[in-house]
């Protein structure tokens, strides 16, 4: 396709590149997954820029399945034939394939291309199921997955040339962290139109079309319900019963399927409950958070009554960005908002909008004090509560937590 023209300005997301670097020029596929428009394509551009800097003679092959120039590429055979025609046998071939899930049985082509040790392969996809089933079977042990999220708060500040203050945090909570927002004025009128278009693309292209749903009406009611109940504990039966009360009859099995579709498209994250006493995961009852708060807010509205829910969603997203596996913790009747694990270490987190009463302080800190192990425990709040700990449990104002 000729010389690849990279964008003139690329805002680097170095935390991701740092995690990819150890696998560069290794016979292992680098897989970047995440919701549409979270910046996977620009991470590929950033990697291409790095390759050119380190290896000026590099043979870079770039395929963007959303580009009409690649409409002919619908199958593994066509993908394989095209890449083979572009290979240079004298050097390393850096192969970048964007939105690869649009190519049928792509995993067969990848397995074949991986046989050539001179091929260094990078792919992106907007569906979580891309790495299950046949791909996992075909490429077991030969790929690494890197999940790409909306901009973290420090990335948001960097992208928009902002300093950390209450106004910047408000913009982040309101509009979310889709990277393209740097090209728009941060006003409701402009941003909301853009976010609506992304929301529609995810719903209709990544869910309705992909799973051949006959109607999007119920799906959108379900999304509205989830957006209005961030951080609330629900089962599929609870949701079914609620929607029946609103004259939308749908089975529990269908709700479970629709939630899985929304999770696969990275629109929402489903968070399971973990029994801290019995050391087991509950099979029923989960919480739901949105990958991007800007999209959540155009579905449900940005209301002052929702500040606590939005705060909790921001904390959850930051924990994911930091690489934690996150669950909701239970101890009998008590609840721990987030039980986080990474590399054998744990972190327990409670989230509170305000620490402005003795009851709130006793509840939020008290629940954490009931946990008997010695892993760090933290309460995160939006207010600037003075004092950094309470009987050994740390307190963090939200912006301090996000800026760490």
Q: So what's the pLDDT on residue 251?
A: 87
User: In the prediction, which pLDDT does 43 show?
Assistant: 97
Residue 310 banded pLDDT, cuts 50, 70, 90 = very high
Asked if the model's pLDDT at residue 227 lies above 90, the reply is yes
Q: Which residue has the higher pLDDT, 77 or 3?
A: 77
Q: What is the CA radius of gyration of the chain?
A: 22
If pLDDT is split at 50, 70 and 90, which confidence band does 157 have?
A: very high
- Of 259 and 249, more confident: 259
- Is the confidence at residue 18, as pLDDT, over 80? yes
pLDDT at 385: 65
- 366 alpha carbon, distance to own chain's centre: 31
Please give the average per-residue pLDDT across 5-19, as a whole number: 90
Q: Looking at the predicted structure, is the pLDDT value of residue 387 above 70?
A: no
Q: By CB neighbour count within 10 A (0-12 exposed, 13-18 middle, 19+ buried), where does 56 fall?
A: exposed
Of the listed ranges 158-167, 273-282, 294-303, the one predicted with least confidence: 273-282
- Outline which parts of the chain fall under CATH 3.40.50.300: 14-147
**pLDDT score, position 3:** 60
What whole-number percentage of the chain has pLDDT above 70?
Answer: 98
* pLDDT greater than 70 at residue 135: no
Residue 27 pLDDT level (bands cut at 50, 70, 90): very high
* pTM, rounded to two decimals: 0.95
The pLDDT assigned to 242 comes to 83
**Predicted pLDDT of residue 1:** 43
Among candidate residues 312, 328, 204, 197, the one with its CA nearest the CA of residue 265:
204
Average pLDDT over residues 371-390: 86
Return d(Cα 195, Cα 301) in angstroms, integer.
Answer: 12
Tell me the per-residue pLDDT of 325-380, one tens digit each, with 9 for 90 and over.
999 999 988 999 999 999 999 999 999 999 888 888 899 999 999 999 999 999 99
At 266, list the tokens. 């990275």
What pLDDT does residue 283 have?
Answer: 79
Please, what's the largest Cα pairwise distance for the chain? 71
Lowest mean pLDDT among 164-178, 290-304, 353-367, 368-382: 353-367
What residue has token string 């302080």? 361
Distances from the Cα of 197 to the Cα of 36, 96, 204, 297, 376, angstroms: 11, 26, 11, 14, 41
CATH superfamily assigned to domain 14-147: P-loop containing nucleotide triphosphate hydrolases (3.40.50.300)
Q: What count of residues does the chain have?
A: 404
Evaluate if residue 45 carries a pLDDT over 50.
yes
Please compute, for residue 247, the number of CA atoms within 13 A of its CA located in the half-sphere on the CB side: 0
Lowest mean pLDDT among 27-41, 195-209, 354-368: 354-368
Question: Among 259, 277, 268, which Cα is nearest to 222's?
Answer: 259
Mean pLDDT of the chain, nearest integer? 93
């Amino acid at each position: 396709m000729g010389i690849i023209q990279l964008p003139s300005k690329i805002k680097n997301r170095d935390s991701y590149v740092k995690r990819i670097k150890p696998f560069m020029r290794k016979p292992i596929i680098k897989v970047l997954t995440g919701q549409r428009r979270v910046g996977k394509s620009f991470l590929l551009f950033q990697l291409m820029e790095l390759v050119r800097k380190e290896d000026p003679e590099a043979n870079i092959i770039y395929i963007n399945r959303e580009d009409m120039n690649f409409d002919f590429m619908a199958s593994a055979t066509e993908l394989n034939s095209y890449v083979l025609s572009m290979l240079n046998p004298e050097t390393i071939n850096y192969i970048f394939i964007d939105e690869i899930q649009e190519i049928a049985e792509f995993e067969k082509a990848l397995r074949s291309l991986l046989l050539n040790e001179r091929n260094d392969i990078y792919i992106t996809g907007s569906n979580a199921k891309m790495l299950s089933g046949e791909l996992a079977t075909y490429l077991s042990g030969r790929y690494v997955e890197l999940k790409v999220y909306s901009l973290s708060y420090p990335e948001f500040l960097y992208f928009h040339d902002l300093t950390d203050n209450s106004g910047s945090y408000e913009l982040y909570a309101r509009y979310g962290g889709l990277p393209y927002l740097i090209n728009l004025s941060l006003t409701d009128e402009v941003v909301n139109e853009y976010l609506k278009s992304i929301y529609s693309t995810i719903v209709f292209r990544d869910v309705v079309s992909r799973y051949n749903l006959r109607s999007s009406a119920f799906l959108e009611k379900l999304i509205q319900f989830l957006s209005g109940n961030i951080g609330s504990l629900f089962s599929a039966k609870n949701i079914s019963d609620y929607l029946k009360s609103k004259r939308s009859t749908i089975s529990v099995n269908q709700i479970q399927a629709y939630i899985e579709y929304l999770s696969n498209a990275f629109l929402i994250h489903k968070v399971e409950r973990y029994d801290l006493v019995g050391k087991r995961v509950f099979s029923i009852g989960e919480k739901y958070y949105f990958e991007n708060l800007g999209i959540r807010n155009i579905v449900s509205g940005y209301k002052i009554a929702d500040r606590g829910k939005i705060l909790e969603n921001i904390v959850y997203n930051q924990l994911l960005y930091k690489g934690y596996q996150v669950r909701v913790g239970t101890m009998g009747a008590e609840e721990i908002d987030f039980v986080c694990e990474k590399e054998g270490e744990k972190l327990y987190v409670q989230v509170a909008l305000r620490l402005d009463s003795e009851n709130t302080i006793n509840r939020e800190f008290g629940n954490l004090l009931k946990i008997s192990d010695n892993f760090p425990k933290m309460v995160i709040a939006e207010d600037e509560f003075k004092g950094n700990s309470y009987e050994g449990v740390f307190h963090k104002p939200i912006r301090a937590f996000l800026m760490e």
